[in-house]
Every structure is written in C-alpha cells, then in structure tokens.
A and B are shown apart, each in its own frame.
Chain A
Amino acid sequence: MENTLFVNSSPHIRSEVTTQRLMLDVIIALIPAAFAGIYFFGIRAALLIAVTVISSVGFEYIIRKVLKRNNTIGDFSAAVTGLILALNLPPTLPIWMAIVGSLFAIVIVKQLFGGLGYNFVNPALAARAFLVVSYGARMTTWIQPLTKATAVDAVSYATPMGVLKGGGELPQLIDMFLGNIGGSLGETSALALIIGGIYLLARGVISWHIPVVYVGTVGLFAWIIGPEGIFTGNPLFHILAGGLMLGAIFMATDYTTSPMTKKGIVIYAFGCGLLTMLFRLFTNMPEGVSYAILLMNVAVPMIDRYTKPARFGGKAHV
C-alpha cells in the first residue's frame, strides 16, 4: 500500500511529445515545399536536397563521435537542418558548396555550441549567411523555373526581390503564390509553405503567433512605405516575394532560438518583420529575411530577460 502515494519533484505534467516526433512533423510539413522546389527547378533540386540532408546527418554523426558524446542522429534534428538549408539554396549551387554549408550548420553552429537546444542562432540560416558572404555570386545566381523556361538552357534570372531593386517587370501575384518565379529552392511557392504551416499548426508544433505577427508586420510596413509615398505599397507583393514564408513559418519558429513567453514572441516576430523590411527597402541587399531572423535570434536572450513573467505574488521583473 505504500506505493499508492507517489512523491516526486516537478515537472508533474508529462507529454507524449518527443523531439523525434516534433522533428518528423517538421519534415512532413516541409515535403510540399520540397516537392514544389523539385517541380519548378527539376532534378537538380532533388539532388541538392538529398546531398544536404545526408551530409548534415553524416556530420552530426561524425562530430558527436569526435566530441565523445552520445549519438543524436536519431532525433532527426540534423535532417531537418539539412532540409531547411537545401530549401534556402539556389538550385544551381555546386554540390560541394552545399556540403560546406551543412558542415558549417551542424559542426560549428550547432554541435560546437552544445548541440540541439544550445545553438544560439538557427543553424540552417547561419549556414546560408555563411555561404552568401563566402560565395556571393554563386548564392545569388537564380534560374527560371522549368515551367516558364523559354530558353533551352538555364539562364540567369531575377527573383521578384531582385526585380524590385534592379528594375524590370514584376511577376504576377498568382505566379508568386504558386511558386512560378525565380528564387531559392524552397522559398518560391507560398502555397506549398502555407500547406506545411497549416499542418504544423494542426499538429500543435508551432503556434500562430510568430508567422502571423511576422508576416503581418512585413505587410504593414510594405503598405506604409510604398513606392509612391506613404500608404501606397503593395503588401501582398512583399509577403509573397523572397524567403518570407519559409522564414516566418519554418525558421523563425525554431524553439531554441525564439523567446519563451507569448509577449516575447510577439516582440521577436515584430522585430523580424521590421528588420526584414528595413533590409529590403533601405539596403543594397535584395533580401533580408535571413539576416533579420539571425539578428532577432541573437536578441532572444535579452527579450526573454525582459519578458520574464512575475511569479505568483512576486514582483514583476524588468
């Protein structure tokens, strides 16, 4: 009869959710975007996805062995990082550069800082930033989607964000929604990304706050700071262009690098949106989603500190 009373310390509420299951959900949610990338950019996109996923898992295995830590490839987090990285790359990137990207994401950003849960920025995004700085020309060589190909061979082609900066004819909004535009492998099809996002919301993997506030902020500033003066912008163009959907749904929502409280999350997502628009409109870079998220990632510990909830009966922090 002694065992009927069970005394232990908190936490008392347990959940069946495991890291493995969460990561599997993210992979499932990314499948539409991955297929959209393969559909629009051909077999080369599939090759890039395969290479980054396999090399990421491989590097995770090797570095854990080298650091004499337990093996963590079973939690699929490395596969998710590899997949997200692939979706952030231009379809023409040389294979070995994609492998260097995986190396940077897994070994330097993730494992040397302690592994899953300790990385201070999103590994896939950090790897993207590393590749953009290191191989600028390669990382900004875009091709036409196959569905639009007029030339036999792939020619360089401007993304909607590039058109906005460099001039030219802006694509149709419906093409931007479906993904029939130039850009990174997995960022072009807003439709596929939204399907994945809805799956994640339904599974309870992410909450609506980050994507909605992030996209909303971008839309708001796009409308306010329009090309012909205040309140003349087209919010839909900025929402559908570039890597915003991919960033808002899959990268800004990374648990490790987003704040813990709802209030913090709203500040964080607003900051991402504001920085994205600042980069897009006022710098010489065409796209700013990746740097915006990276910068807000770094600010997360500070946001967490100032949004710490007061304990019951205690004084509020700050």
Chain B
Amino acid sequence: MAEKKTKVSVLLNGLLNENPTFRLLLGMCPSLAVTTMAKNGLGMGAAATFVLVGSNLVISLIRKIVPDKVRIPAYITVIAGFTTIVQMLMAAFLPEINKQLGIFIPLIVVNCIIFARAEMFAQKNGPLLSVLDGIGMGAGFTIAITIIGSVREILGAGTWMGIPVTVNLFEPAVMFILPPGGFLVMGLLVALFNHLTKKKKEGNGLECESGCGVGCPGCSKAANGGEA
C-alpha cells in the first residue's frame, strides 16, 4: 500500500484492477446463481452496491471505536442492517425482481465482497474514500454480473432484459440458463477478462512496486533484488 490513493484511482479500482467478480473472484454464489437473466444481474448488483456503500461508510466511521476483537460481529450487525433495508425496499418497490432473486437478497449479509471491502478497505480508510471504494466495487460487481447474465440470457433463452433477440432465429441452448452454463460462462469471461487486461499491462511495462524476487522477464526491480 505504498502508492498514494487518489479518489479517482479508488473509484476505478473496483472496475478493472480489482474487479470483485472477474479478478478477486469474490461473491461467486450470487454471480453464478442469479445470473440467468441480465435483469436479475442488474437488480442483484444494485442491491449489493447499496449495502456495500452503506456498510463501507458506517464501518469507516466506527472503525476507531470498535475494538479489534469484536469487529466481525460489529460489522455483521452493520451489514445486516443495510441488507434488511434493501430487502424491504425491494419487496416494496420491485416485487418482481425481489421474487426472482429470492434468498439471495438476505444472503447479501454474508456476501464476501462486502466483507472483504470492510476488512481490506473501510477498516483502514476514511469515510469519503470508503464510499468511493464501495461505489467502485459495487459498480464493478454490477457490471460483471450483468455481463454474465446477458451472455447467459442471450444464449440460453434468446432474449435480453426480457426482449426477444435471437429466440425467433434459432433454438436457444437451454444449458446456459442452467447451473453448468453459469460455471461455463463465468470461466470463459474470467479468462477473457484476464487476457484483455494482461495485454494492457504488458503494453505499459510491468508494474512492480518492490521487486518480488521471482525474476519475471521485463521486471527490472526483480533483477536487482532477486537472484538470477
């Protein structure tokens, strides 16, 4: 954590470098389970983002008061509070999506993205940065699972956001909206994401802060620090 965090970099971190779904592989359970339709992905992402921003803000505010030993129960209480709010809001205003997402809305309480950000970020940073981190991470998660949902819905049902796209052209492959299709699309998208972002990094030269000592080609720091 040597590099100084700017507000923009914190915000963008969740979208690319540390995308919770494609890079950190967090929150796999909702990413696989609710992404049978693009709309569900969007709804799930929005709900998780709301909880993430709220809990990040509150946790960063109370981080100096809460004793280290009881921080996990304290964080759970905060996260559960926001989850209850979002669950009630969705039941009241978006009953259709709420029905589709079912148990996965209350399960946001134990969503590891929210926990990871509480532990890794909100606990160590001020409220403003934490909120920005929550927005960035939430947006990254939302975009990722909406993409997964879109791919699965188009291939598996021939529709996108409920609108017929290819369903009249050919028979959609039902497997993509079934669990094996979730794993398949997830794996392929992670591979694609890694492939695309790797290329970008090679173009800019490898970023190596301290020299890992492994001696990757192209990393000048490693050559100084590690044995050849």
Contacts and interface: CB of A to CB of B under 8 A. Distances in A.
B170 interface: yes
B171 A135 contact: yes
Which of the listed residues A97, A100, A133 has the most CB atoms from chain B within 10 Å of its own CB? Answer: A133
Interface residues of B, number: 11
A232 to B, nearest CB: 37
B191 interface: yes
Q: What are the 8 closest A-B residue pairs judged by CB atoms, nearest first? A: A134-B173, A134-B175, A133-B175, A134-B174, A130-B175, A135-B171, A133-B178, A133-B174
A287 B53 CA distance: 51
B156 to A, nearest CB: 8
A136 B178 CA distance: 13
A163 interface: no
Contacts of B176: 134
Given A108-B188, A112-B188, 9 more contacts: A97-B171, A100-B173, A108-B184, A112-B191, A133-B174, A133-B180, A134-B173, A136-B174, A138-B171
Contacts of A100: 173
A97 B173 CA distance: 10
Interface string A106-117: 001000100000
A106 B20 CA distance: 30
A83 to B, nearest CB: 23
Contacts of A112: 188, 191
Interface of B: 170-171, 173-176, 178, 180, 184, 188, 191
B174 A96 contact: no
Contacts of A96: 170
8 contacts: A100-B173, A108-B184, A108-B188, A112-B191, A133-B178, A134-B174, A135-B171, A135-B174
Interface of A: 96-97, 100, 108, 112, 130, 133-136, 138
A108 B174 CA distance: 17
A135 B170 CA distance: 11
A92 to B, nearest CB: 14
Contacts of B178: 133
Contacts of B184: 108
A133 B171 CA distance: 13
Contacts of B191: 112
Contacts of A108: 184, 188
A133 B172 CA distance: 11
A134 B171 CA distance: 9
A96 B178 CA distance: 21
A275 B18 CA distance: 43
Contacts of A133: 174-175, 178, 180
A139 to B, nearest CB: 11
Contacts of B174: 133-136
A135 B172 CA distance: 8
A112 B194 CA distance: 14
B179 to A, nearest CB: 10
A135 B176 CA distance: 11
Contacts of B170: 96
B154 to A, nearest CB: 14
Nearest to A130: B175
Contacts of B188: 108, 112
A157 B173 CA distance: 24
Which of the listed residues B170, B174, B175, B176 has the most CB atoms from chain A within 10 Å of its own CB? Answer: B175
Nearest to A97: B171
A100 B188 CA distance: 17
Nearest to B177: A134
Which of the listed residues A130, A134, A135 has the most CB atoms from chain B within 10 Å of its own CB? Answer: A134
Contacts of B171: 97, 135, 138
